[in-house]
Amino acid sequence: MTFTPCVPLLATINAMRPVFMIVMGAFLLLTIWRMTRGTHGWTPKVLMAGAILLAFGYSVVLPLYHADVLPKLSQVGFFSPNSDVAMGWHIVKLVAMNGGWMLFGLGLAMHAGIFETEKSPAPVESPSTSPFHGPAA
């Protein structure tokens, strides 16, 4: 049994891609954790939920698919009798990746204030000086 280090294999893009995805997923989670540390409310919760889903998808599920540990649903066949495992992991991948991007995008949109209207720069009269809306006197 030979045990030579396979440097050419490691240097190919195909072999580097799972490593890249694992590192990126972990770094994404770390960055979001540092960003939301010490804050309260729904925005950090949504951001953190999305980041956890994405980190799980990118650093666990996709590399396992890439390494052929998990069976692909398209190869097993949807209607074959032993498609249960493939179907389960397919659902996990769908939910983790798509739900992760959805929650992450929603959290960052809440963080950036997409759903809030900008304050109007027009001067607003104070109600006490307005002759129409003031208290009846």
Partner 1 sequence: MDLLLEILLTKTFLFDAFGVIGLGLLGLAAVRLSQRYQSWGGSLLSSGALLLLLGRLMALLRPQIFTPGLQDALGRSMSDVLLLAPTALMTMGLAGIVWGLWGHEQWLREER
Distance of CA 27 to the CA centre of its chain: 12
Q: Nearest approach, Cβ of 42 to partner 1 (angstroms)?
A: 15
57, 63, 68, 73: CA torsion to nearest 10: 20
Q: Nearest approach, Cβ of 34 to partner 1 (angstroms)?
A: 6
Q: Which is nearer to partner 1, 3 or 115 (CB)?
A: 115
Distance of CA 37 to the CA centre of its chain: 17
Contact residues for partner 1, defined by CB under 8 A: 17, 20-21, 24, 27-28, 31-32, 34-35, 50, 58, 78, 87, 90-91, 94-95, 97-106, 108-109, 111-114
Q: Which is nearer to partner 1, 6 or 23 (CB)?
A: 23
Q: Which of 63, 72, 69 is nearest to 90 (CA)?
A: 72
Q: Nearest approach, Cβ of 26 to partner 1 (angstroms)?
A: 10
Q: Which is nearer to partner 1, 33 or 64 (CB)?
A: 33
Q: Which is nearer to partner 1, 27 or 42 (CB)?
A: 27
Contact 46, 112 (CB under 8 A): no
Distance in angstroms (rounded) separating the CA atoms of residues 102 and 126: 42
